Structure 1
Amino acid sequence: MLSIIGIGDDGLNAASAAVRDRIAASEVLLGDERALSLLGESTTGKRIVLSGDVNQVATQVEAVGDRTAALVVFGDPMFYGLARFLIERFGKDRFEVLPHVSSMQLAFARVMESWDEAYLTDLAIHPLTAVVEKIRTAQKVGLFTNPDVGPDQVAQAMLDRKIDYFTAYVCENLGARDERVTRAELAEIAAGEYTSLNVMILIRRADAPDRPRDAVGRRLFGNHDDAFLQAKPKQGLLTPSEVRSIALAQMDIAPASIVWDVGAGSGSVSVEAAQLARDGAVYAIEMDAEDHGLIQENCDRFDVANVIPVLGKAPEAFAKLPDPDCVFVAGAGREVTRLAEAAFARLRPGGRLVVNLISIDHIAQARESLMAATRAAGHEPNLGVWMVNIARGADQLERLSFESLKPSFLIAAVKG
């Protein structure tokens, strides 16, 4: 049995009797140099300094064999700690975990805020752009920063995205003699310098909005067509908001989905798919250079950072892209069927493809092609087909009338 033990900067002085007994009885003691140095000289076990690489740590732990051992870390080993990795690697039967107060707990205690419903994460394992998006709607936030992404960079990234409604705390060297807690506005934090051992706490100011004023009225999906920039000669060719809403619903986009938008145009589907796949990525494939440029402009308008515009012709452009979970294909001619076949072949098992056609002539061909592709993969076809007729209300001569949009057709297919 290997005991994974959490300690603080005061070493064994504040440790429980159970922790001291485990360490005293251990034939092998593992930890980084700082943790092992805090155990003092009274322990007799062989000391092994852990590698900075987790796979090498696993090898060091495996080499312990059946000897009684203790692995010493700081704080709570299960809270973004080494214990999670080792238990996933070797199973629960081999370990016991004796936690100490985590630095996150200490940080919230220092600023005297509860943390039971806070958004907590570690910037060592999650990209800053994704974290900032989650901060936008959070009430309280606790961040483990790291030497590569410090509090100043977090604060500046938030200000760049107009998220300026948090009070920030930077808690450095918690539990040590040189502990320091800084409370400041984000602009001050962005201009500061901090030690690498810190936790950043963000507290949302009362009555602060979820988004900047110029974004009020914008939705996750189904935004009005006029909200998107379009090339002038092609004005009105983007997927109408009502059809876009049905298509996105049928794509069943998850927060971490990889999405392809084939024939993205100016990017209306890409932008809204990106807002749904906030931890994933959307590849907006477009062969027209002018529309390709508009994709990024529309991403900037909606403040989405997870759309990757791809200038190229499909299906050749598919070659360098990761396999998708969801695909949207739009077009008017026979080429749509060929693109749908190629995209369906790359779709991950369980993935969903939605085809939008504006001509009734090609529906049967596209449907039969996708049914054949599904059977070829060893599955019974799982397809849905819709004809979408939309009429929008309009005032004419003080009377309500309806203006019909051109009928649109959708085919949705599930792979497996």
Structure 2
Amino acid sequence: MSRIELIGIAGPVLDQQQQVLISGCCAVVASARHQKMLSELTQPIIPIAPIQQMVDEVTQQLHLGSVAILASGDPLFYGIGKTLLSHFDPSQLRIHPALSALQLACARFKISWDDLTLISLHGRAAGDIAGKILGHAKAMLFTDNTNTPAFIAQQLLLALEATQDQKRIDGLRMRVAENLGLPDEALYEGDLESISRKKFSPLNMVLVEQKNIPSQTSCFGLNEGDIHHSRGLITKNEVRAASLHKLCLPQQGVFWDIGGGSGSISLEAARLNPDLTVYTIEKKPEEQENIRRNIKEFNTYNMHLVCGEAPQALLELPSPDRIFIGGSGSHLEPIIAHSAPKLAKGGKIVVNAVLQKTAEQAPDCLQRHGLLVETATIAVTRKEKNERQPTIFNPITIITGSS
């Protein structure tokens, strides 16, 4: 019976067992790096990329006999194994894993990896690198030619400098392992500044370590007193909870918080969904400083302050999956006109209206841009047990537009 021999490679040469497996196959799939190990091979060699072409050729070769596929380390750990299992029946594959790059890196760095956060940037858009990394005490990164150690260090510096978090900058260390398992293997360690200036081999793993990062005791339910804000100008707890419920935030994606104020909605969203990238748009310098302090204190580096006024401040932002409008000045219509066409399919725009004018204007405006609209009004009354009179807050109308 023909099968695929999926062989993990962890060193510079093939061992005897690997050579025997390959000799029994009618063809071999290998990357350019692994092809150098096959100089004496007489069987045809199939490039590992492009993937679909490789899969098609392997399918044809299986009619003639077994096929060997060479992969780095453990093929089932961020490797080709997952792709092959999606194209071939598992009974056709026999898998021979080697030490993964992760295991080798941890052995060289002399750290355990059972409490390590693993982040793959290999073959992925850079996205929100700082937001992915800074919430974790130890993070191991799989890199590529774009998301290099230097680029990663630069992104971390930009995020931490934006909140003037010099303590985190000083306390963060990066370690880089180059060419693991090969004769020119090398290890480096440094701060963000030194790593950001250095060029590394394309084959590397990066470890980011932080000490004394802010801990998160809960993912939702901050009180107004917990959040830095100015003169009581903050979305009240009950309204914040209802607004987040209406937003129905995705686990990943992009969220715009327009007229962010202290950033309380953004803060709760960023804590609830660490893989969500949050842009908080705010024009007032006093509130901008509150937002910076909140990001730093609550370690929500997936939250990004955009200084300016909508809709102009939205022009360079990636398209959103969700939008919250907590403050619009006199620009509600142009904000919605700009935002609605950019909203992802299945997305939502939620508007909190304090003024009656906004409560009347927002539904019509959302509907004109093709969104399904519903409204809800919340009136919050608070009273502690021994208080004689309750505190009554102005009612808030929450308008939700769904695409």
Check the 8 A contact 1:261/1:328 in 2, yes or no: yes
Check the 8 A contact 1:166/1:185 in 2, yes or no: yes
* Alignment CA distance shift 1:48-1:341 (3 Å): closer
Deviation at 1:279, TM superposition (A): 3.1
Q: Map Cα deviations across residues 285-342 of structure 1 (whole Å, 9 max, x no partner).
A: 67xxx44x7776555442546547496766x999997664333234699997998799
Question: Which among 209, 212, 217 is matched to residue 213 of structure 2?
Answer: 209
Within the alignment, does 1:280 sit opposite 2:276 as a pair?
Answer: yes
Within the alignment, does 1:61 sit opposite 2:67 as a pair?
Answer: no
Within the alignment, does 1:197 sit opposite 2:197 as a pair?
Answer: no
1:34 counterpart letter in structure 2: R
Residue 164 (structure 2) aligns with: none
* Alignment CA distance shift 1:308-1:407 (3 Å): same
Check the 8 A contact 2:131/2:303 in 1, yes or no: no
Deviation at 1:209, TM superposition (A): 3.3
SS of residue matched to 1:12: coil
Q: TM-score, normalization: structure 2? A: 0.71
Question: Which among 163, 171, 175 is matched to residue 169 of structure 1?
Answer: 175
Q: TM-score, normalization: structure 1? A: 0.69
Alpha-carbon separation, structure 2, partners of 1:169 and 1:91: 38
Within the alignment, does 1:44 sit opposite 2:29 as a pair?
Answer: no
Residue 78 (structure 1) aligns with: 76
* Alignment CA distance shift 1:250-1:190 (3 Å): same
Residue 32 (structure 1) aligns with: 31
Check the 8 A contact 1:170/1:199 in 2, yes or no: yes
Q: Map Cα deviations across residues 145-178 of structure 1 (whole Å, 9 max, x no partner).
A: 3344443454455466225545543322221223
1:408 counterpart letter in structure 2: P
Residue 138 (structure 2) aligns with: 140
Deviation at 1:21, TM superposition (A): 4.0
* Alignment CA distance shift 1:180-1:363 (3 Å): closer
C-alpha root-mean-square deviation of aligned residues, in Å? 4.8
Question: Which among 343, 355, 365 is matched to residue 351 of structure 2?
Answer: 355
Alpha-carbon separation, structure 2, partners of 1:359 and 1:369: 16
1:255 counterpart letter in structure 2: Q
Deviation at 1:83, TM superposition (A): 3.3
User: Which structure 2 residues correspond to residues 17-416 of structure 1 after superposition, within 5 A?
Assistant: 17=17, 19-41=18-40, 43-51=41-49, 56-67=50-61, 68-88=66-86, 90-93=87-90, 95-125=93-123, 130-155=128-153, 157-158=155-156, 161=160, 162-165=168-171, 168-182=174-188, 189=195, 194-205=200-211, 208-210=212-214, 222-224=223-225, 227-228=228-229, 239-240=235-236, 242-264=238-260, 268-270=264-266, 272-282=268-278, 290-291=283-284, 299-301=291-293, 302-303=295-296, 304=301, 306-307=303-304, 309=306, 324-330=320-326, 351-359=347-355, 385-391=376-382, 404=391, 406-411=393-398, 413=400, 415=402
Deviation at 1:409, TM superposition (A): 1.8
SS of residue matched to 1:66: helix
Deviation at 1:135, TM superposition (A): 3.3
Alpha-carbon separation, structure 2, partners of 1:333 and 1:144: 44
2:252 counterpart letter in structure 1: A
Check the 8 A contact 1:271/1:298 in 2, yes or no: no
Q: Map Cα deviations across residues 267-288 of structure 1 (whole Å, 9 max, x no partner).
A: 55445545545433445567xx
Deviation at 1:37, TM superposition (A): 1.7
Q: Which runs of 5+ in 1 are unaligned?
A: 230-234, 394-398
* Alignment CA distance shift 1:183-1:130 (3 Å): same
Question: Which among 7, 11, 20 is matched to residue 5 of structure 1?
Answer: 7
Deviation at 1:46, TM superposition (A): 0.7
Deviation at 1:134, TM superposition (A): 3.9
Deviation at 1:7, TM superposition (A): 1.1
* Alignment CA distance shift 1:333-1:389 (3 Å): farther
Higher RCO (CA-CA < 8 Å; seq separation 6+)? 2
Deviation at 1:119, TM superposition (A): 0.8
SS of residue matched to 2:60: coil
Deviation at 1:407, TM superposition (A): 1.4
* Alignment CA distance shift 1:220-1:257 (3 Å): farther
Alpha-carbon separation, structure 1, partners of 2:328 and 2:174: 52
* Alignment CA distance shift 1:38-1:362 (3 Å): closer
Deviation at 1:105, TM superposition (A): 0.8
* Alignment CA distance shift 1:210-1:333 (3 Å): closer
Alpha-carbon separation, structure 2, partners of 1:132 and 1:333: 31
Alpha-carbon separation, structure 2, partners of 1:339 and 1:33: 51
Check the 8 A contact 1:283/1:310 in 2, yes or no: no
2:203 counterpart letter in structure 1: L
Check the 8 A contact 1:332/1:358 in 2, yes or no: no
